[in-house]
Amino acid sequence: MTEHADTAQIFKALAHPARLRILETLEQGEACVCHLEALLGFRQAYLSQQLAVLRQAGLVGDRREGLNVFYCLMDERVPMLLRLMRGKEAAHVDHVSPAAVLPNCSCPRCRS
């Protein structure tokens, strides 16, 4: 792919409200799919579709731990891009941290 095609793929991945919410959550730290599901209120299948687009664009990566797949940011430009998109007035967005223990999540972090 050319540099322009790579850039276009990144902006295409950023051009979706659900993917932006996923990135903003992962900006706070690594999270598994079931944790993202509990945090964001999206169905697992929908999250997987959106994470696949972000992974294909090189914005997120994953690692498997037992039955769980954990996602994290892979492109160091993502936090800066999110801040630029939010603008000066909303430089910081409060989110529940992916490290929080959630009662409706079955991941190892929340079960222990």
Q: How many CA atoms lie within 13 A of 45 on its CB side?
A: 0
Q: Which domain holds residue 105?
A: 3-87+94-111
CATH of the domain at 71: 1.10.10.10
User: For 47, phi and psi rounded to 5 degrees?
Assistant: -60, -45
Could you read off the pLDDT of 20-79 as tens digits, one per residue?
Answer: 999 999 998 999 998 899 889 999 999 999 999 999 999 999 999 888 899 999 999 899
Could you read off the pLDDT of 77-97 as tens digits, one per residue?
Answer: 899 988 888 775 555 555 556
Total domains in the chain come to 1
pTM over 0.75: yes
d(CA 85, CA 77): 12
